[in-house]
Structures are given as structure tokens and as C-alpha cells.
Amino acid sequence: LVAVLGLLLPGIAGIAAAQSAQPQWPNVLARLELSGLSPRVVTGTSAPVLRITGRVVNVGDRPITTLGVRLQRDEPVISDAAAARALKGLSESPHVTRFQPLPGELAAGQSRPFQLEVPLRGAELTSLHISEPGVYPMVITLDGESDAGGLTRLASAPLLVPVLGIPPATQIGRAHV
């Protein structure tokens, strides 16, 4: 774990690297711009909640509504190749949290800050359900709806979160605008 962590910390410290890994589709309607991750390295004395801050940007030409963000995580990475795949957004991330709504409509060209808080431990869907140390691939996803179609994934941003120790559990996560 220490060797993998040593190799990954330079990439983890720059959340901008995760943003550049967002898929670029021709009909992209939104973008996630991540600005903060706390704690950057989880220890037994860290806050028991992972906090991600950033902005949702409507880069399309239509308003988007019914916005929601959530975190998804995969099992800890065990190789450099697995870490590289995760930062490219290619991990499976089968452990999901509930979508946390972001209120209101986002008009074309508008952006809005958000803060997503998710407990590290706890029940499925309300937490990341992390119970052991490791370097965890995660994906923050934004879903929403436009007049072009129904509810769909609008954007995602992969990141790696090193967990050196497990803090005590806390309450249900939430998103703030």
C-alpha cells in the first residue's frame, strides 16, 4: 500500500488531472469542475466524511434540470495499471451512493457551485461503505434531464482516494449548493 500510495500521491494531489479525464462526447451538456477534496488522505483520525467541492457547468445550449450528484467506488487498486485505468474513468465502480439532488434549473452557459458530503462508513447507498485501508478509485457523477431527452448521465470525474486508516462512522451524506 505504501509503495502504491507513493506512486499515486502526485496524481491525487491535483484534482485537475481527474477533470481532464472526463470523457469528451460530441453532445456534452455539462461539465464537473472539482476544486476540493477533504480529506485528501483518509486516516483513523480524519473526518469520517469525504467532502468534494466544485462547480456544475452547463456547456450545452439547453437548460438542464433534475440535477443530482453521487459518488461511486470500486475495490482498492493493487497495481499501477489499475490506478491508471481508474484515473481514465475505466474502473467499474459498482459501489454506489444515492443521488443527492441539486436544486433548480441550470440554464445554458450557467454554472453553480456544489458540495457533496458522503460518509466513508455506514450502510450501502448512504455511504462509501469503506471498511479497510487501500487506494480507492471513485467517480463523481452528475445526472440530469434536458429537453432533448430523459434523465441521463451528464458528466463524471474519476479520482483516487488513499485510505490509510478508518475513522468512526457518521451520519447520512448530503449535497449542498
Cell of 66: 433534475
* Average confidence score pLDDT of the chain: 83
pLDDT, position 154:
92
pLDDT, position 169:
73
Going by C-alpha positions, the residue among 140, 17, 15 that lies closest to residue 73 is 140
pLDDT reading at 164 higher than 50? yes
| pTM for the model | 0.79
CA distance 41 to 162: 5
- pLDDT higher at 148 or 80: 80
pLDDT, position 6:
53
Kindly report the three-state secondary structure assignment for every residue of the chain. CHHHHHHHHHHHHCHHHHHHCCCCCCCCCEEEEEEEEECCCECCCCCCEEEEEEEEEECCCCCEEEEEEEEEECCCCCCHHHHHHHHCCCCCCCEEECCEEECCCECCCCEEEEEEEEECCCCCECCCCCCCCEEEEEEEEEEEEECCEEEEEEEEEEEEEEECCCCCCCCCCEEEC
pLDDT, position 170:
57
Query: Exposed e or buried b for every residue in 26-40, given b needs 16+ CB within 10 A?
Result: eeebbbbbbeebebe
Cell of 98: 444515492
Residue 24: band (very low, low, confident or very high) from pLDDT cuts 50, 70, 90:
very low
Residue 19: band (very low, low, confident or very high) from pLDDT cuts 50, 70, 90:
very low
Please, are residues 138 and 72 in contact by the beta-carbon 8 Å criterion? yes
pLDDT for 32-76, tens place per residue?
A: 999 999 999 999 999 999 999 999 999 988 899 999 999 999 999
